[in-house]
Amino acid sequence: MITIFSHLDQEQANTFSLVLNASGIGNRVIVDQDGLRIEVPPIHIERAREVIHRYQAENPDTREDVPAPRSNPPLSKNLSGIAAALLLLSIHLAVFASTAPEDYLAVFGANARRILNGEAYRCATALLLHADAAHLAGNMAGMAIFGGAVCVVTGTGVGWLMILACGILGNLMNAWAYATGHLSVGASTAVFGAIGSLCAFQAVDAARTGKGWKRMVLVLGAGMALLAFLGTSPRSDLGAHLFGFLWGVLTGGAYRLWMKHPPARKAQVLCGAIAASVLLSAWIRGMTG
């Protein structure tokens, strides 16, 4: 979230927040030592400013003693994307330091026939395995950039649960499509779920306001460049990428249509715990199955 107004009194903060909410722009009012400030997701900065400027133009009395929007707001980051990338790296190093890394791919990889025969845990475990360094590097970058960007909008717990769900569902649909011994691994299905969600966020906002299409095209273009890079890996799976992206569009669109604000902290913690539990239980199922 990025601060666009600061040093507000209670009435100003309440008014601006109400105006932004009425325009479908998620925001939150924060109390600090200098008064109140309003934060919005990075993708809504320009639109939020336009909405407040328009409100002030229609209500001239509100322009007096109202701080201007902050120019050059600080870059908002969600470091959980970097943490996810480091998790992928640590698992990859552990697997390839073992005596039989190919065994991990055989037991935990997304084998289509085995998934359809009841080993659905593979849809989750395969997301944490990678065929080679290039495959890993692309997915680490995707997680850090696109995964973190989703979490800026949705909150960390909700964002990673959405991304994980897209990866799992993408692998499951890919298994149905192949219905053979086809094997794939990698977090790219989840990465493209994040890209699809970001595109959906922009598309819903653009449909509401008529603006934002350019940002959506930029996100999509970056995703296609990543797809081309990951497609050089011997075990990369374009079908899984596509299904992950489509699930991202569906989940991201649903979130943007129904949620005006990121859920509260308790909901974020719950969603994060669910995501971690799903991954942990999937690995336990694979090791004990």
What's the pLDDT band for 23 if we cut at 50, 70, 90?
confident
Most confident of 8-17, 194-203, 275-284: 275-284
Of residues 264 and 173, which shows the higher confidence score? 173
Check whether 35 has a pLDDT greater than 50. yes
Check whether 42 has a pLDDT greater than 90. no
Check whether 124 has a pLDDT greater than 50. yes
pLDDT in the model for residue 6: 78
Check whether 71 has a pLDDT greater than 50. no
d(CA 264, CA 267): 5
Domains and CATH numbers, the chain: 2-63 (3.30.70.1530), 80-288 (1.20.1540.10)
136 touches 88 (CB < 8 A)? yes
Check whether 72 has a pLDDT greater than 60. no
The two structure tokens encoding residue 118: 């009841």
188 touches 140 (CB < 8 A)? no
pLDDT in the model for residue 255: 94
177 burial (CB, 10 Å; 0-12 / 13-18 / 19+) is middle
User: Whole-model pTM?
Assistant: 0.72
Mean pLDDT of 78-83: 88
Handedness of CA 15, 17, 20, 22 (dihedral sign): negative
In the β-sheet with 28-32, what is the strand arrangement from edge to edge? 2-8, 35-40, 28-32
Mean pLDDT of 23-39: 78
257 touches 204 (CB < 8 A)? yes
pLDDT in the model for residue 32: 64
Check whether 252 has a pLDDT greater than 90. yes
Ranges 30-34, 40-44, 45-49, 138-142: which has the least confidence = 30-34
What's the pLDDT band for 75 if we cut at 50, 70, 90?
very low
pLDDT (tens digit per residue) in 91-122 = 999 998 988 888 898 999 999 999 999 999 99
Mean pLDDT (the chain, rounded)? 84
d(CA 69, CA 62): 14
Most confident of 56-65, 102-111, 226-235: 102-111
pLDDT in the model for residue 63: 44
260 touches 21 (CB < 8 A)? yes
